[in-house]
A and B are shown apart, each in its own frame.
Chain A
Amino acid sequence: MGLVLLAFSLQVIIWKIRIPYLQTRAIVLIFLGVLAGSWGAAWLLSWVAPEWQPLLPADIFAYGHIALFVLSCLLAYIITYSALEAESPTLTMVRQILAAGPAGLDKTSFSKSLTADLLLVPRCQDLLRDQMAYLDADRFRLTPKGKLIAKLFLYYRRLMGAGLGG
């Protein structure tokens, strides 16, 4: 848990200085760096100060268990972070209704504020930034990475008997 908190604190400090262009990749690097660093520190400590041995992971399975915990936290955090990074339409709608107060909000207010420029154009740009698509003249085309993701979701949605979603 300490490693996860350390990685998260490091991320917040870096983000306060400058938010990286590829945010998800930066988070992965921070978490994996902290994990690798802790392994290195534990290995070094076992050589330098053997009296600390009882406090260190006992065997390779214990190291693996710690790695599994950190990687699970990393995956869950990346997924949650994507909702922070991008504008969530559902959260925005709830936020707008809340802001309207006891008078409530009518449907036209949503279509005025939640335009394609806010909801969909940035997501198309995300695909370019994350190298899932590229621009060929003015056409968006999928990269091999984008095609792989499309196949994965299509296969799984077929397995569930579902349509395109969205």
Chain B
Amino acid sequence: MPLLGLGANVISQLLLLRWARFRLLPSLFCGFFLGFLVVFFLDSLTYLSLKRLISAEFVYLLLTNIIIYGLLGYCYFHFINAGETGRRVRIILELYQAGNGLTLEEILKRYSAAEVIDKRLKRLLDNRQIFQKDDRYFVNRSLMLYVTKLMIMAKLFILGKESEGR
């Protein structure tokens, strides 16, 4: 069921994006929700048609499948995100399109640190994660703030450092 839900998620997201002209993020959220409905109803229908009663086993099964679906949906979201924002993916695509390989200098000419910064600043401003006042940037009390703090804690816990440099 979670795999069917993921299939429904992917297909509906693509349809919403290409044919219903949704923006990327709303299409991802709607696709995820539609996939969730598929998991919920297919699981309920299959179980109830076989056993004809709601039991603890049914609740456990449904909950587990919803968690699995959520995890797979999270992976799909990040697959799309990697294509949108991933630096490794962008460099791979540059190398693929160049055909004959690229030197480090050629890679940096096609994809500069300035472009990386500008694109992310724009995204952070567009999504209101940060705001700009008198040419200076400030963080909004947003989800990004908590994600950043969580990631710093996770880095310190697992890797023992908060960035690649220190």
**Contact of B130 (CB < 8 Å), options: A12, A88, A97, A123:** A97
Q: Does A41 touch B at the CB level, under 8 Å?
A: no
Chain B interface helix/strand/loop/mixed: helix
State the CA gap A137–B114 with chains docked (Å).
Answer: 27
Chain B's nearest CB lies how many Å from the CB of A98? 6
Contact B136 A106 (CB under 8 A): yes
Q: A124 contacts the other chain (Cβ, under 8 Å)? A: yes
Residues of chain B contacted by A50 (CB below 8 angstroms)? none
Say yes or no: B75 contacts A75, CB within 8 Å. yes
With contacts A123-B91, A146-B95 taken as known, whether A139 is within 8 angstroms of B103 at the C-beta atoms is yes
Q: How far is the CB of B136 from chain A (nearest CB, A)?
A: 3
* Total A residues in contact with B, Cβ cutoff 8 Å: 72
Indicate if A56 sits at the interface (CB-CB under 8 A).
Answer: no
Contact A123 B87 (CB under 8 A): yes
A-B interface pairs (CB < 8 A), number: 209
Pick from A11, A15, A65, A110: contact of B117, CB below 8 A.
A110
Q: Beyond A84-B151, A132-B92, A142-B95, is A93–B86 a contact (Cβ under 8 Å)?
A: no
Which residues of A from 83 to 119 have beta carbons under 8 Å from B? 83-95, 97-98, 103-107, 110-111, 114-116, 118-119
Structural contact, B136 and A154, CB atoms closer than 8 A: no
* A68 located at the interface, meaning its Cβ lies under 8 Å from any Cβ of chain B in the complex: yes
Give CA–CA (A79, B83) in the complex, Å.
Answer: 13
Q: How far is the CB of A82 from chain B (nearest CB, A)?
A: 8
Count of chain B residues with a beta carbon within 8 Å of a chain A beta carbon: 73
Please, what's the 1-or-0 string for A40-79, where 1 marks a CB less than 8 Å from any CB in chain B?
A: 0000000000000000000000000100110011011001
Residues of chain A at the chain B interface (Cβ within 8 Å): 11-12, 15-16, 19, 65, 68-69, 72-73, 75-76, 79, 81, 83-95, 97-98, 103-107, 110-111, 114-116, 118-124, 126-127, 132-133, 136, 138-142, 146-147, 149-151, 153-154, 156-157, 159-162, 164-166
- Taking Cβ atoms with an 8 Å cutoff, the residues of B that contact A are 2-3, 14, 17-18, 24, 64, 67-68, 71-72, 74-75, 78-80, 82-96, 100-104, 107-108, 111-117, 119-121, 123-124, 129-130, 133, 135-139, 144-145, 147-148, 151-152, 154-155, 157-160, 163-165
